[in-house]
Structure 1
């Protein structure tokens, strides 16, 4: 049930997420989460700026009322679940740009001025790291 991954700053993408609010899959029969995972990996490979962020995937983050969801996490940092993305490179770039700021932050808080436009309005929940609550 659990697969070990590197415990590093990461974008964990739900690879089984719906493509959109109205469709599970795209015209080729591929889930939106799988498309978003592909886009994240393509964009990550295009720039060394994203080297400090892993792209990991798993089936179902249980955010099924939202589509194309990701979880940003890192040891000792507040985590975030974001969703309602289009599964394309534009969304992937915004997610990875935010994740790069997140990885560089002390506790996971990224100043609003550094948020890419493409993540604004996509936050669903924040999660405390094990052993902590946010203040």
Structure 2
């Protein structure tokens, strides 16, 4: 018998202010470039990732590990990755990893199952938040 497939939306959060160490503040942030690349891939192939939403935020506090991306969904593990390249291939891998997260019942993503560019650079894996109960 196979595991049930989750239908929860996975949110991809991309730090749009990420800059590699020593990068000029006069140039656009590498994180903004990655965010744009991910958005472009999602628009070009919107039918591939129906359970994925993408948003950029001003900081993920992983400044020494730019570019950084997080994956989160209700009731699932949250992942934070760093050291990502702001290019088209990484954008494709980010979306493929988000789809993997979306279909995983608990959000767990084994290293060898993740796309190549997200097999390393993991900064954190947080457990699902505890449900609040009213006493």
Query: What's the TM-score, normalizing by structure 2?
Result: 0.83
Q: CA deviation at 1:76?
A: 0.3
CA distance in 2, matches of 1:9, 1:54: 6
Residue equivalent to 2:63: 64
RMSD: 1.8
Q: CA deviation at 1:24?
A: 4.6
Q: CA deviation at 1:130?
A: 1.5
Report SS of the residue matched to 1:97.
Answer: helix
CA distance in 2, matches of 1:31, 1:114: 30
Q: Does 1:29 align with 2:33?
A: no
Q: CA deviation at 1:71?
A: 0.8
CA distance in 2, matches of 1:76, 1:44: 24
- Checking the alignment, whether the CA contact within 8 Å between 1:44 and 1:51 is kept in structure 2 is no
- Checking the alignment, whether the CA contact within 8 Å between 2:33 and 2:87 is kept in structure 1 is yes
Spell out, residue by residue over 1:71-110, the C-alpha distance to the aligned partner (whole angstroms, 9 max, x if none). Answer: 1000100000001111111111111111101101100012
| Structure 1, unpaired ranges of 5+ | 1-6
**After superposition, where does 1:6-25 map in structure 2 within 5 Å?**
8-18=9-19, 20-24=20-24
- Checking the alignment, whether the CA contact within 8 Å between 2:67 and 2:85 is kept in structure 1 is yes
CA distance in 2, matches of 1:57, 1:24: 20
* Pairs aligned (count): 123
The ranges of structure 1 where at least 4 consecutive aligned residues each deviate by more than 3 angstroms after the TM superposition are none
Report SS of the residue matched to 1:86.
Answer: coil
